[in-house]
Structure 1
Amino acid sequence: MDTLKQLLEIAERKIERDQKGTWSKGSITYYQAMFDELEEVKAEMDSKRKCYLEDELGDILWVYMCLLKNLEAENSISATRVFERALSKYKERLDGINAGGSWADIKETQKQRLADEHLIESES
């Protein structure tokens, strides 16, 4: 986990540098780059070259981290909350199905909770 924290810190420094330059168009730059990286991962999955696949998966992680930090710099999200939401969401789903629940039912409950949160957020 320390590695992910370090990578996120480097991405934050990268975004600070991007904001001083002219090549980046903000978060959309990283959003679009994600598609290119996914194509490269697909090619490496087909090639069966393990080290290249790992490298390309690292590129996806990097671009994702840069997207998060850029959205955060634009005051659109909290990167910490993205991780907290993902942890909570998938822990609840896995715990639920392990207790005999349905993934679809749990997912529907979560969607309703999110809609309720959005409604409260938009009223404030």
Structure 2
Amino acid sequence: MQAFTDLAVLARRKAAFDQNNDWFGSAETYLAELKTEVDELAEAIDLGRHCHTEDELGDVFWDLLNLAVALEAESSVRLDSLLERACRKYRERIGGIESGRRWADIKQEQKRRLAEEQAAFDSGGS
């Protein structure tokens, strides 16, 4: 989706700007904003306000993207990697339920593999 790519470019441009502003502390800045925007989204949904719902959902998406970009600068999180991970995760879940497996079973297996991956990462593996 070109729109996602465009938005990611804008988020990276904004990240460069944010580094020179005193309001920005860390990725936590965006996490706090994300929580606020989720509340605003819930209100727009409750009120049945279509245009406001789309706008607030866009704000949630924007803050989530900015959080990911900030975490790239502060940790080993990478936007491309997290998108690939999310696609793989939900491709497996959706494919699994389409083939008759239970969502909870698929999720449990994924959690087990994730714990193994984290343990390997923590011990110096890749």
Fold shared by both chains (TM-score > 0.5): yes
Aligned alpha-carbon RMSD (Å):
0.9
Corresponding position: 1:29 with 2:29: yes
Equivalent residue of 1:55, what SS? helix
Aligned residues: 124
Match in the other structure for 2:96: 96
Distance 1:35 1:70 in 2: 16
Equivalent residue of 1:21, what SS? coil
Displacement after TM superposition at 1:122 (Å): 1.1
Bigger RCO (CA 8 Å, 6+ sep): 1
- Tell me the amino acid that sits aligned with residue 33 of structure 1: E
Match in the other structure for 2:10: 10
- Tell me the amino acid that sits aligned with residue 61 of structure 1: F
Match in the other structure for 1:81: 81
Displacement after TM superposition at 1:43 (Å): 1.1
Distance 1:13 1:73 in 2: 13
Distance 1:114 1:24 in 2: 31
Q: 1:5-33: per-residue Cα shift (whole Å, max 9, x none)?
A: 11011001111110112110110000001
Gaps of 5+ in 2: none
> What's the TM-score, normalizing by structure 1?
0.96
Gaps of 5+ in 1: none
- Tell me the amino acid that sits aligned with residue 54 of structure 1: E
Q: Which runs of 4+ in 1 moved over 2 A?
A: none
| Percent of residue pairs identical | 40
